[in-house]
Amino acid sequence: MIKAKNVWKIYGRGEAKTIALKNVNVEIKEGEFVMIMGPSGCGKSTLLNILGLLDIPTKGEVYYKGRKTSSMSENERAVFRRKISGFIFQQFHLIKTLTALENVELPMMLDEKDKIYRKKRAKKLLEMVGLGDRLNHYPHQLSGGQQQRVAIARALANNPKIIFADEPTGNLDSKSGLIVMNILKELNEKGITIVMVTHDQELTKYASKIIKLKDGEVVEVIEKAKNSSHT
């Protein structure tokens, strides 16, 4: 589905040069639950952003279904981010002046979906993540775990094939984190590909593939037996 080939990411020049990723080769297959792991500053989020077309590599190539993403126009990249993928971040990134329902509606508004359809789908998604009674609450009226569930519902708004999640449980207590992980597990069981950054070793039980990074390099790729992550 997505392949990174000889990918480098270098920031700055000369003495200020920082190599965030070094000759990375990874493959994300359809339906996998992939976890990118490693210590802080090893390049996990950088790799996630490059795979999700939020960033571009300094050298190397990212392919989506065999097509070079470097040959995509900015508009095609935007369509990929809006229609094919969904993003979940550690900081939630909800719009404070919008209700939970309106936050989930937003990607559909950008995609020029019909107003009645938007509201119906946003309500259904919030009910799916257990927030049917919080539709008209604003972010400041929700707990961290509830805000992250709104963010998941928003990521699902345009029926993505793949979800990129950057430390989605990083700001949550263990109970809220468990709820979030179980939602992601259920989505994966429905066929959605999940690519997630985490440093929490406990969460590897959910993964079907683990990519370990150290100092910007892939040091190990562990592929689990099929369905072992859901037992």
Contact 86, 164 (CB under 8 A): yes
Task: Please return the burial class of 100, using the count of CB atoms within 10 Å of its CB with bins 0-12, 13-18 and 19+.
Answer: buried
Work out the number of other CB atoms within 10 angstroms of the CB of residue 74.
Answer: 7
Residue 178: inside a domain: yes
* Residue range of the domain that includes 127: 31-56+78-230
pLDDT tens across 90-134, in order? Answer: 888 899 999 999 999 998 988 888 999 999 999 999 998 889 999
Distance between CA atoms of 222 and 204, rounded to whole angstroms?
Answer: 10
Does pLDDT of 194 surpass 80? yes
Residue 189: pLDDT over 90: yes
- Domain assignment of residue 6, yes or no: no
112 within a domain of the structure (yes/no): yes
Task: Tell me the pLDDT tens digit for each residue of 124-176.
Answer: 999 988 899 999 999 999 998 899 889 989 988 988 899 999 988 888 888 88
On whether residue 10 sits in a domain, the answer given is: no
CB atoms within 10 A of CB 178: 15
The confidence score (pLDDT) of residue 217 equals 92
Domains held by the chain: number: 1
**What's 172's domain CATH number?**
3.40.50.300
Confidence band for 228, pLDDT divided at 50, 70 and 90: very low
In the block, tokens 């935007």 appear at: 78
pLDDT at residue 230, rounded to an integer: 42
Report pLDDT for 33: 95
Q: Is the pTM of this model over 0.85?
A: yes
How far from 118 is each of 57, 101, 109, 200, CA to CA, in Å?
A: 35, 9, 7, 35
H-helix segments, the chain? 44-51, 74-79, 100-110, 115-128, 144-155, 174-189
Q: Is residue 152 part of a domain?
A: yes
Q: Look at residue 176 in the predicted model and tell me its pLDDT.
A: 85
pLDDT tens by residue, 19-75: 999 999 999 999 999 999 998 888 899 999 999 888 899 999 999 888 888 888 888
